[in-house]
Every structure is written in C-alpha cells, then in structure tokens.
Chains A and B, each alone.
Chain A
C-alpha cells in the first residue's frame, strides 16, 4: 500500500542526505521532487503547493544539529507535516452507547459502498454488535440483491422493502425494525450519486435528516484523481459527513486523494478498505500512514494485528511445542489458519519495515496457503503428528486426496523439515522463542 509513493519520496530525500546543511539551493531540487511525487500521487495541486511551502518554510528556518543530517531533518519535517495533514490522531468510529447506532454511507457510484457496508457489518459483528444492513439503494439494478447476498455470507440480516422505491421510507422503517428485533447497529447503504446531481443530493440530505445517523461516512475510491476535492467538498456541504472511508487500497494507487480530502474538508479518515474479502478492513492511523509513506514501515500495526488474532493460550502452547521441538504438521496447519485470519500475506509483509518496497513485485500468493492447508488436511492424524512416516505411497495418496501433485506434497514436507531445523537452531541460540521470520516463511 502506498509503497510507490514511499519509494519516490525516498529517492527524493536521498538527494539531500549527506549534505552539510539546508540551504535554499540544496533544498529546491528536493522540494521540486517532492512536488512531483505528490502530484503523481494525485494529491490535489493546491494541497501539494501548500505542503511544499510549509516544508520549505520550516526547513529553511532550521538549524542543523551535528547529530542529524539535513536528510533526516527534512524527513522529520515532512513526516510531521504529513501527519498533520492526515489528521494528527486516529479516529475510532463513534457509537451510541445507550441505544441504536446508525451509520449512513454515502459516495459516488462505484466507490465501493455496498462492499464496504458488508465489511463494516462484519467488523462490528465481531465486536459483538447486533448489526442490521439496510438496502437503501433503489436505483442500481440488483443493488438490493447484492447486499442480501453479502449479508447472508456474513450472517447479518438485511432490511429491504423491495416494492418501495423511496430510500427515505426504507431507512426510517429500518430503524423501527432494528428496535423491534433487538438490533443495536444499523448500517444504511445508500445509492451512489454524483455530487452535481442536486435531486440526489437532496435525497441523501433528507435520509440523513430523518434518520439522524450517529455517523455518516463518505466512501471514496483511493484511485480518485484531482476531482476528489470537488466531490468531497460537495458531499460535505450538501449532506455533511463525519468521516471518510478509503476503498480499494489493495491496488497500487498512491492514494494521494487522502491528503487532498483531509486538507479540503476537515474530517478524519475512519477506515481503509483493501481487498474483496469481507474481513479486509483496517482502521486508519495517520501517523502510521505517514511512516508508511516515508518508508519506515508499519511494524506497530503488524504486531497489533497479530495480537488480535492469536489466541494467547494457543500461542503459549505453540511456543512450548517449539521449544521442545514437538511442533508437528497439525500445529503448522493451525498457524496457517491464523495467518489467513490476519489478512493477505502481501499486506502483512508490507507492514514490515524495509521490505515494503522489495516485495512490491514479488508474487505472494495467498492461494499457496490453501494448497498447503489442503495437503495437511488430507493426512491422517498419525501422519500429521509424525511426518517421518510419510513414504512414497502415503505421499501419492495425499496428493490424490488433496488434488495436488506429489511435487507439491514433497515440497511442503521438505519445507516443514527445514522449518523444524530452523526452530532447533533458534532454540539453541536464544532459548527464547520468537515468531518465525515471515521472510523465511516461504511457501511456494
């Protein structure tokens, strides 16, 4: 995510690293480069201009202390400015503690509202909320069916009045339905609309007025260009919203529209949505995002993500097994399942400092995990506990049973043996167990 922006900024910063002090002349090229980076990243031209001005102002006034290089100093200034532009602190979704929390989603067509509404529903459901999805998009053909299907995938009820073409009525009725059925969170998926379509904007405002949502979220495609500021501004003025959601961040868009929107409309980014899987949703942390942009990686969110998914007890058991060298294929399978819960491998790897840009072109194939899983699942209990007994005919059977080739099975066993080997060495060296390094954890 955003690794390209990072790469480019790194390049621009290298130009002043190692120079004596910050002068008008040695900073001008860097600033020009940063402007180029920002514009290529679709940061609004005016926002980019202001940003450069600020950085320049602050840099020139600065005394360079002996212990830091001008490059480090400017990195710090750019970082601080970025964080400020992105909104200083992370912003959680507000909920209504004593009653019904209503969340209304608005945005342009194709920004990803319906997919996001299902993701949000799943996210809140995992937080033990009783969620209701509301199909208030009566215009796009089959929008209601899409939401119903997504709802059934995550076991969240979907409220729809198929014979009604009035999103206001549907939204109002949904609140009643939620109260009657003991549901405490309502997510209203409205139709995509253009910010210049007055009629549709008035309709959105009307829904908002009647529903009085706890939070209104503006959903934006991260690939949006310069016009992001216009639509954000119009939605802000005509409907108003409490936060922004950035979608499709699993692509290689540089996401500059985050900076633009934040600069034009003072509303925090609440969520970042990546991928089509319904659990690929992340909270937005401006400081981490700024770090990421500057190539410092994001080890903090990796750790937190791991913590949320790993059951403490299970981890302890696992650690013990590692230490006693009793780690078997069943444990391996458990680990793979946990990793899968954490999200895509690529997004996990992207968070580790220093390797973000390296893996940009590497093929990290989540499907390989499924292959490994299927192979292990085709083994007997005995085989999983003691892979040594896997002779040729057993391997043949497993390959056939799991729908893979014998080579796949052989490779997995070999890698597992290598991993055991590695664990042995780790144990010898430190006596303390650390999470295996993901870089060595190659599956294909």
Chain B
C-alpha cells in the first residue's frame, strides 16, 4: 500500500500542489470562493455538470471554519460518491476467469494487458492471452512481445474473425486448465456501429461457451487524458456489452483522469487499476481513498 501511495503521490504531485495552493488561495480571501473551486475541478476534467453538482452539495452540507474543514468535506463528498468495491479485480485462482478488454483506439489496451498479465502472474495465475485485434497492423506482434516478456501463451489466428479467435481461446483455456484468459480486442470508436456489433459478437461467443464455473468480466480502458467524450465512450460501449469495471491509463502525465472518476460515480462502476507508465509494473490497483487524498491533500 505504501508503494501505491508513493507512486500515486509522485504521479499526482503537480495536481496536488495545484489544488492545495488553490484551496489556500480560496481561504486567503477569508471567504470561500466557489468559482476558484469550480475552476480547479473543471481543469481536472470533472466536467461542468459534475463540478456544479459537487459545489452545490458542498454549499448545502457544511459550514467551513477553515481550510482543513473545507478540505475534509470535499474529500468526504468525493469518497462517498465513488464505488469502492473493486473486489472484481481480486480474482479467484481456483477457477477460470475470462476478462475481455476493450476501449477506443489508442487508449492503451494492449499495454494494459501486458501489465495486468505481469500483475496476476505475480499472484500465481496461469495466464492465456487471446489476440482478437485482427485489424490493426502488427497489433498481435505488440501483444506477442508482451507475452514473451511475461512468458505467457498467446492464441492468435489472422485468418479468422475475432469472435472465432475468442472461441478458440476459451476452449484452450478450459482444456489446458488456465486460471485467467485475457481477450485483447481491437480499438474501436464507440460511434462505429459495425465495430461495436463485432465486439458484441465476441462477447456473445464467449458468454455462450462458458458455464457457471467460469467468471467472465468486461473491463473498459479509458485514456486518462480524455475529456468529456469519455462519457460517450462509456455510454455507447455499455449499450453493446456489460461493463464490469474501468481502468484509467496514462496517468503519469499531468492529466488527472477526472472524466473517468465522473463516469465511475455516475454509473456506479468501480475503477480497478490505474496505468502510470509503459513498464510492466507501472500498474497500481485503484484505492479510492488514496486517489482522492492524492488529488486533494
């Protein structure tokens, strides 16, 4: 946990300073300037609607004596909103879990799978990876390099459609007693109906080929740099497939991932992991309290 805190603190160093000093300046005037708070939240991609909601609730809920008071109320408010149940990242090693990974182009799906594989290998899982991105040039090679790095087996077949590759992979995972199967899908814009239907088809094929002893999870990958379009991404993807959890990537820059936080709150979905770099161990399990603390402390 300490490692997580440190990583996150480092990662969010800039944000933290930003919010901290801004909150100080709010109190510098001895009266609370909610416009400044609005600015801070907007800058973190929390979005106008969500920001206004937070400010309104904050106005209603408390009287603030000082900065600390204000800080705590804000923290408590955010913490109360976020879904804290990310147990769906704690997988049962005694049965097979199938995790389907999807998201828009360039959100970091393949890299995240590489890092997730490393994470679960360290917990003793026997992992199989299915390369169902039969569209992007060299996508399977990228995945293969990750698989080699992690010494995991990979199922691929360029001559087949993604759903058939998924089907093959599920069969192999069952027969060869794997604990965990990652399905890597091609990046697709949520506005492209044909590609969304393709994803749905992969999803259906997997669902049909499993029984109650196998757990299937769908994780949406969202770029931490995304703005309000992330809402649309969530909305559209969830029309075609059930979403069980979210992963925010690329949080090692100056972006704060506020748009994903907002999605998680609005749809009551857990954020499972944060991606904070390109190395295989640059993935941390999401801890709501630490995340919010790092944002606001």
Contacts and interface: CB of A to CB of B under 8 A. Distances in A.
A367 B192 CA distance: 12
A110 B187 CA distance: 11
Chain B binding surface SS class? loop
A112 B106 contact: yes
Given A109-B106, A141-B142, A146-B142, A42 B227 contact: yes
Given A110-B105, A146-B138, A227 B45 contact: yes
A223 B104 contact: yes
A433 interface: no
B189 interface: yes
A36 B48 contact: yes
Interface string B46-72: 011100000000000000000000000
B224 to A, nearest CB: 8
B253 A225 contact: no
Contacts of A227: 45, 225, 253-256
A42 B46 CA distance: 10
A254 B228 contact: yes
A223 B223 contact: yes
Interface of A: 36, 39-42, 45, 108-112, 139-143, 145-150, 153, 194-196, 221, 223-228, 230-231, 248, 250-254, 256-257, 276, 363, 365, 367
Contact of A140 (B44, B105, B142, B189): B142
B252 A196 contact: yes
A230 to B, nearest CB: 5
13 contacts: A40-B228, A45-B39, A108-B253, A110-B107, A150-B137, A196-B253, A223-B227, A225-B226, A225-B258, A230-B253, A230-B254, A250-B191, A251-B189
A41 to B, nearest CB: 7
B81 interface: no
A315 B135 CA distance: 35
B254 A195 contact: yes
B115 interface: no
B278 A225 contact: no
Contacts of B141: 141-142, 145-146
Given A141-B142, A145-B141, A231-B254, A225 B227 contact: yes
A252 B237 CA distance: 13
Contacts, number: 144
Contacts of B108: 109-110
Contact of A248 (B48, B106, B145, B194): B106
Indicate the member of A39, A365, A367 with the most B CB atoms within 10 Å: A39
Contacts of A41: 228
The contact size tier of chain B is: 35 or more
B137 A40 contact: no
A146 B137 contact: yes
A44 B190 CA distance: 24
Contact of B229 (A146, A231, A251, A365): A251
A40 B106 contact: no
Contacts of A365: 193-194
Interface of B: 14, 39, 42-45, 47-49, 104-108, 135-139, 141-142, 144-146, 189-194, 223, 225-230, 232-233, 250, 252-256, 258-259, 278
What 3 A-B pairs come out closest when comparing CB atoms?
A225-B227, A110-B106, A42-B227
Given A142-B145, A252-B232, A256-B227, A226 B136 contact: no
A225 B257 CA distance: 9
Indicate the member of A45, A110, A148, A228 with the most B CB atoms within 10 Å: A110
Nearest to B52: A36
A251 B190 CA distance: 7
B253 A253 contact: no
A67 B176 CA distance: 78
Nearest to A196: B253
B189 A250 contact: yes
Nearest to A227: B255
A221 B250 CA distance: 13
B253 A195 contact: yes
Given A111-B106, A226-B44, A251-B189, A42 B137 contact: no
A146 B136 contact: yes
Given A145-B141, A225-B45, A252-B191, 17 more contacts: A108-B253, A109-B250, A110-B105, A110-B250, A141-B146, A142-B145, A145-B137, A153-B137, A195-B254, A196-B14, A221-B106, A225-B225, A226-B227, A230-B254, A248-B106, A250-B191, A276-B135
B253 A142 contact: no
Given A140-B142, A252-B191, A231 B223 contact: no
B273 to A, nearest CB: 17
Contact of B278 (A39, A42, A109, A224): A109
A112 B187 CA distance: 12
Contacts of B250: 108-110, 194
